[in-house]
Amino acid sequence: MAVGTVRYWAAARAAAGVAEEPFEAATLGELVKKITRNDELERVLRRSSFLIDGNPAGTRDPDTIVLPDGATVEVLPPFAGG
């Protein structure tokens, strides 16, 4: 079980109601389940990209992405523009 920080950007921040929060989760999939607390955030998370300590999670299955202890997970919703 990793302990770290999840940071929300743009629409994810608005839907979560916070800019960041601590987490405890073993995988990215588990983290996403734990942080999904309303329909709007669930919608945003489905469309978001994730960075784990600056590295993109890409299209890998979130349940297979093991989170290291002390990780920072960034939730990046689609942004308009370039």
Residue 80 lies in a domain: no
Residue 82 lies in a domain: no
Domain that holds residue 11: 2-75
Residue 81 lies in a domain: no
Residue 71 lies in a domain: yes
Does the pLDDT at position 62 exceed 60? yes
Q: Give residue 65's pLDDT band: very low, low, confident or very high (50, 70, 90).
A: very high
Q: Where residue 61 sits, what CATH number does that domain have?
A: 3.10.20.30
Distances (CA, A) of 28 to 23, 60, 80, 81, 82: 11, 10, 25, 27, 27
- Grouping H, G, I as helix, E, B as strand and the rest as coil, residue 17 is coil
pLDDT of residue 79: 80
**Number of compact structural domains in the chain:** 1
Question: pLDDT tens for residues 4-59?
Answer: 999 999 999 999 999 999 999 999 999 999 999 999 999 999 999 999 999 999 99
Residue 50 lies in a domain: yes
Please choose, from the candidates 37, 38, 32, the residue with its C-alpha nearest in 3D space to the C-alpha of residue 65: 32
Q: Rounded mean pLDDT of 56-68?
A: 97
State phi, psi for 26 to the nearest 5 degrees: -85, -35
Q: Give residue 80's pLDDT band: very low, low, confident or very high (50, 70, 90).
A: low
